[in-house]
Amino acid sequence: MDEAFVEALKTDFRSAPLSEQDGVMLEYVEQLTRDATRISPAFHDRLRAVGFDDRGILQITLIASWFNYINRVADALGVGRED
Question: What is the full per-residue pLDDT of the chain (83 aa) written as tens digits?
Answer: 688 888 888 888 888 889 999 999 999 999 999 999 999 999 999 999 999 999 999 999 999 999 999 999 999 999 987 76
**Which residues, 6 or more positions from 63, have their beta carbon under 8 angstroms from its beta carbon?**
none
Q: What is the DSSP string of the chain?
A: --HHHHHHHHH-GGGS---HHHHHHHHHHHHHHHHGGG--HHHHHHHHHTT--HHHHHHHHHHHHHHHHHHHHHHHHTTT---
CB 33 within 8 A of CB 13: no
Domains in the chain with CATH codes: 17-77 (1.20.1290.10)
pLDDT value for 1: 66
pLDDT value for 83: 64
Chain Cα centroid distance, residue 19: 15
pLDDT value for 15: 87
**pTM attached to this predicted model:** 0.86
